[in-house]
Structure 1
Amino acid sequence: MIGLWDTTGSEVVKALAAERRSAGGVASGMALTLIVVVDEKRVREAEAAATIAAAAHPCRLLVVVRTDVERDRNRLDAEIVVGGRLGPCEAVVMRMYGRLALHAESVVMPLLVPDVPVVTWWHGEPPHEIATDYLGVVADRRITDAAQATDPIEALRQRARDYAPGDTDLAWTRITPWRTLVAGAFDTTEARVTAARVVAPPTDPTAALMCGWLGSRLGISPRWERAGDFPRMREVQLSCANGDELTLTREDSVATFRRTGQADRQLPLVRRPLGDELAEELRRLDADQVYAEALGAMAEVSGLDQRPGQRVHVWKDPATAERAEAGVTAHAGTSATP
């Protein structure tokens, strides 16, 4: 491990090259570059998840921690780890202070592995519009997590409004086991589904995407019922044209599958670690059309998969926005003075 304090981007590039030579050139088998944008308080959590993902997808891991953009003096601290505590990857953890944090790409771009895809993951609140973050614009795939937003359902709607092919969300990844079990129920029947019911908390983004997926796949409007005190999606029920009902109910890490005229079955439905969810998303680097259809159905926005796959960077300075809001507030206060 190499620690560089109050350094520059060029020094980070040189130190990474030196550490690679010392470690024997780990980058020869790199499948992608993974950029992680995270707050300081969640760096260790993001590193733990990336370590699990890197075991399945050897990558160069670039962790960007933006701190105190209002600081007068710019500063860059970096930690370089090659084939060490973060698994079979090359990792650079960069803490950026001051205005440098608004231009993270100036440090990140020279560190990208040549000729491999780039994935950006926001472990925290993503930008309102991804085009305002160059680290999202440069990526082939962009991973967000609506569950971390103050209003997860509105966050998903915003992801639909701002969608471009290549976007995905970990709320979608979390319903992969549910979708697998529900789809598997139709291996032995061709009955048409006429209605669906999802039981979940009203703020559960996984339930919102489940409703969107069922609606886009089956051409119906699923009913969303409150799950009482259950903290996450509890049940999915489908009604068929032949009178059969299929119900999948979760209790802890086990799901009970009920079907009219058949005995109940117990199926595994384990909540996976964050690293496994991230690893699943790294398996595909093309646009996820099924996710686009589910997100569009959920948010009532059509044609998501027909949008351009590339974004144009839009510069946004949060300090300028704050000053503008302060000016409007001051002007309103002055106008109200008799």
Structure 2
Amino acid sequence: MISLWDTAGREVIKALGAERRSAGGVTSGLALTLVAVADEKRVKEAEAAATIAAAAHPCRILIVVRSDVTRDVNRLDAEIVVGGRLGPCEAVVMRMFGRLALHAESVVIPLLAPDVPVVTWWHGEPPERIANDFLGVVADRRVTDAAQSPDPVAALKQRGADYAPGDTDLAWTRITPWRTLVAGAFDTLDSAVTGATVIAPEKDPTGALMCGWLAGRLKITPRLQPTSEFPRMRVVELACANGDILRLTRHNGSALFERTGQPDRHLPLARRPLGDELAEELRRLDADQIYAEALGALAGIADLDERSPTRVHVWKDPAVARAASNQ
């Protein structure tokens, strides 16, 4: 690992090039650049998750830590790792202080791996509008995590209002196993679904997005039944026109599948590490139309997938906004 203190972007580029050459040109097999935006307390978690994801998708990992933007003096510290514990990957952790943190793209863009897609992941709260962060504008795919917000369901609705094709949220990734099990139930279903109930905490983004998915796919209005007994989504229940009830209940890393007139079954439904969830999102770099449909149903906004995939950067100075709010 190379550490650079109070350095400049050009020095980071030179050091990365030197480290890459000494490691034998790792960059030749990179599939993408992953830009991870995190605060200081989440850096280790972000690096660990990105490393797991990189095992499936060799990439250059650029971790951006924006520190105190009110500091009078700009400063850039960087750590560079090529290969080693990261496998066929490269990582640069950049800590930016002062006004430099508001212009992170000036350091990040020259470090993007050539001729490969860019994915930006906010491991924390993203900007209210992705266009306010140039690191989101430059990305081909953008990954947020509504669960990191104080009000995750409101955060998902904001993602719907601000949506552009290429956006996704890890709440969607977390219901992939649920969606797989529900979709599998339709293989033997010979009656239309007329209603659905999701039991989940009121502010659980996975429960809200599951309702959106069911609404978009089945053209029904699912009912969200709030619960405070469980920390995350617990039950998905479907009611059929012929009177049959299908019910999936999470229990100790598995799902109990119950259906009228059939024996109960236990199916796998384990929680996955953050790195595995991130790896799933890196498998596809095109727009996810089913996610857009589910998000639109949740937010009450139609035709999200017909929006332009291109964002234009909108500059927003937090110092000016802070001063205005104090007046």
Equivalents in 2 of 1:227, 1:271: separation in Å?
A: 19
Please say if residues 79 and 92 of structure 1, whose CA atoms lie closer than 8 Å, have aligned partners that are also in contact: yes
Q: TM-score, normalised by structure 1?
A: 0.96
Q: Distance in 2 between matches of 1:210 and 1:155?
A: 15
List per-residue Cα deviations over 1:74-100 (Å, max 9, x = no partner).
000000000023332110000000000
Aligned length: 327
Question: In the TM superposition, what are the counterparts of 1:24-103 in structure 2 within 5 Å?
Answer: 24-103=24-103
State the alpha-carbon separation in 1 of the partners of residues 275 and 190 from structure 2: 36
Query: Is the 8 Å Cα contact of residues 146 and 156 (structure 1) preserved in structure 2?
Result: yes
More displaced, 181-190 or 20-29? 181-190
Q: Distance in 1 between matches of 2:200 and 2:192?
A: 24
- Please report how far the alpha carbon of residue 244 of structure 1 lies from its aligned counterpart in structure 2 after TM superposition: 1.0
RMSD across aligned positions (CA): 0.7
Measured after TM superposition, the shift of residue 226 of structure 1 is 1.8
Structure 2 Cα separation of the partners of residues 4 and 249 of structure 1:
51
Q: Which amino acid aligns with 2:43?
A: V
Give secondary structure in 2 for the equivalent of 1:185. helix
Amino acid at match of 1:193: V
Using the alignment, how far apart are the partners of 1:110 and 1:171 within structure 2? 31
Measured in 2, the distance between the counterparts of 1:322 and 1:202 equals 31
Q: Alpha-carbon deviation of 1:188? A: 1.3
Give TM-score scaled by structure 2 length.
Answer: 0.99
User: C-alpha offsets along residues 225-269 of structure 1, whole Å, 9 cap, x if unaligned?
Assistant: 122311110000001111111000011201100011100000110
The runs of at least 4 consecutive aligned structure 1 residues that moved more than 6 Å come to none
Amino acid across the alignment from 1:210: M
Counterpart residue number, 2:127 = 127
Task: Tell me which residue corresponds to 1:148.
Answer: 148
Indicate conservation of the 8 Å contact 1:149/1:155, yes or no: yes
C-alpha distance in 2 between matches for 1:161 and 1:47:
30
What is aligned with 2:203? 203
- Mapping of 1:176-195 within 5 angstroms? 176-195=176-195
Contact 1:48–1:86, Cα closer than 8 Å, also in 2: no
Q: Which has the larger radius of gyration?
A: 1
Say which SS state the counterpart of residue 86 (structure 2) adopts: coil
Residue 167 (structure 1) shift: 0.2
Is the contact made by 1:50 and 1:86 (CA closer than 8 Å) also made in structure 2?
A: no
Q: Which residue of 2 aligns with 1:263?
A: 263
Q: 2:190, 2:84 → 1: CA distance?
A: 52
State how far apart, in whole Å, the 2-side matches of 1:14 and 1:226 are. Answer: 54
Aligned-residue offset at 1:175:
0.1
* Distance (whole Å) between structure 2 residues aligned to residue 114 and residue 45 of structure 1: 27
Give the drift of 1:47: 0.5
Which residue matches 1:235?
A: 235
What's the counterpart of residue 213 of structure 1?
213
Give structure 2 stretches of 5+ with no counterpart. none
